[in-house]
Structures are given as structure tokens and as C-alpha cells.
Chains A and B, each alone.
Chain A
């Protein structure tokens, strides 16, 4: 059974801090790993990673995958209150049709 574990469960920081969110996984025949941000409603897509060592970057957010050690990190620099959300990590195996989600990391950024 595929498994995704995220840490920490929750995190409280102040504006301007840098945070690192972790995602480790066990999946048969890995295909891709995805990060989503969930505020009050639907998750919104952030990144999809398929290759080790290649950083994906979007503004202050970046993510990297290590397929040997079976984990990914999501970095947020110069955090803002608008970054407060639950961040979800999910993996897709070679069967392709299903995503297995982790439990999420709840980030709160205080002014």
C-alpha cells in the first residue's frame, strides 16, 4: 500500500521567516510527487516533481525531490500571512490513476 507522511503536522512562524516542509513516501513504482496548497476550500496545485535533484521554483516557493531517499521538501522564503494554509503532498505510482495524499502540514504565519 502506498504511503505518504508529512512533517511537521503544524508550524507557527512569523512573517519573514523561512520554512521547510517535509514529505516522505513509500510507493510502488513511483511516477510523480505533487504539492498542493489548501486554504479554506479546494486544494490548489503548486508543483509536480518527477526527477531527482531538479528544483522547481515559483516566486518564494521552491521544491525538490530526492528519489533515492524517497522524500521531497517544500521551501517558503520570506513568509507572508497569505502563506497560511495546509500544504498537501501526494504521490502517483505507475498505475497512474490514483494519488495518495499525506496528512498535510498546517502552516500559520503571524504578522
Chain B
């Protein structure tokens, strides 16, 4: 049981390049999230998904896109990378526990992707 797996761990992009950050979870979680964390700051939600085929914007979606074609995978796409997108990106997932409050399960985080745009 690997939990939440993110790839790559590190990446350097030039301004205007594009890339996809991969996220996969093997816990059969319905809910998946992408956050970014800037130095010394908390986590800001970029996009989230409540299940396959459903995605929604978070606080800071501009410059990013997501898709959720399967329960396991939730890739984050950066088009036309900008220096402002230099950050650490975390993917997270949580279950929908039918036995309890479905909104009160904790997040499980991946180890992050450190992205630098120069």
C-alpha cells in the first residue's frame, strides 16, 4: 500500500514551458486535491475532485488544469509556466467513510513536487 505517490520529486522549467505533475493513490479514495506551498506559507488549494470525472477549482486555479479520468489518478497540468508558479506542490486524498461523517476524514498527502520556473 503505497498511499499517495507524486512524480517527479523535482523539476526545473523554463518560462513558457509546460508540464504535468503526476499523482496516484491506491487507497480507493474518492476525494483528491492539489495544493501549492510557497516558502514559509501555508497550503493553498489549486483544484480538487470528488470522484472520477468531476473536478472543481480551489483558491488559486489560474495557470493550471486538472483531469480525473480514473479514481486513482489526478494529474495537474501547467501550461505556459511562469516564475510565480515556483512552489512545492502537494497532492492529497481522503476517503468518504460511509460509517461516519463523510467530510471528516483526514487528508493523506504525497511527498510533494518541488518546481522551479526560471
Mark A residues whose CB is within 8 Å of B.
4, 6, 31-32, 34, 36, 41-45, 48, 50, 88, 90, 92, 94, 96-104, 106
Contacts and interface: CB of A to CB of B under 8 A. Distances in A.
A23 B90 CA distance: 22
B109 A42 contact: yes
B58 A98 contact: yes
B45 A99 contact: yes
A76 B25 CA distance: 32
A41 B112 contact: yes
Contacts of A44: 109
Contacts of A106: 40
B2 interface: no
A48 B43 contact: no
B1 interface: no
B112 A42 contact: yes
Which are the 3 A-B pairs with shortest beta-carbon distances?
A96-B103, A42-B109, A101-B42
